[in-house]
Amino acid sequence: MRILAVSDVESKYLYDCYKPGKLAGIDLIIACGDLSAEYLEFLVTMADCPLLYVHGNHDTYTREPEGCICIDNRLVTVNGLRIVGLPGCLRYREGKYMFTESRMESMVRKLKRPIFKNRGFDILVTHAPARHLNDFDTPTHRGFECFNELLERYRPRLFLHGHIHRSYSAKLPQRSSWGDTTVINACDHCVIEIDAPQDH
């Protein structure tokens, strides 16, 4: 299964330089926030596959992107993959998708029942990173500590996030690991291949 992860930066490769068939073979698109509705609609149309998204801290849609599925504070299953979504970033000023650590902890707690019913999850999708995992110490780009707890407790196969532009530092990896979890900074775009899930 091939997953296209996107976030924050509209990819010139996928958008400005698009050629028919470039998205052939993509089975699922996951958007980690701060992308225009028009861009997401373009991708879902050209790829002809489901597109899931969470809101980023700068997302202020006057309308939600058509043909796309918002997974803010939800667990959804696509092609057998159990996917959890959490929006926004750590609050550094007032904003609809900016949250304190305690508010995000509350959002995570509300997901524990569906996670339990589904016997865990395979992919964690967020806008912000986890604390000390691709984040910075500045208030604007600090990760959430409760995300670390989710990773440690449930050990999902993938953790996809945005918010941290790779242009911020040459040392920022696009792919890294947290225990058994592959971590992807989805800024711009990244294609991930993942085996079909086993029976849960």
- The predicted-structure confidence for 25-74, as pLDDT tens digits, reads as follows 999 999 999 999 999 999 999 998 999 999 999 998 888 999 999 999 99
Q: Which fold has domain 2-193?
A: Purple Acid Phosphatase; chain A, domain 2 (3.60.21)
- H helices present in 34-100, as ranges: 37-47
- 121, 151 contact by CB (below 8 A): no
pLDDT at 115 over 90: yes
The edge-to-edge listing of strands for the beta sheet with 28-31 is 69-70, 51-53, 28-31, 2-7, 188-193
Cα angle for residues 133, 73, 2 (degrees, 5° grid): 65
Q: In terms of DSSP bridges, do strands 69-70 and 51-53 run parallel, antiparallel, or are they unpaired?
A: parallel
User: What are the residue boundaries of the structural domains of the chain, listed by start?
Assistant: 2-193
pLDDT in tens, 146-187: 999 999 999 999 999 999 987 776 678 889 999 999 999 999
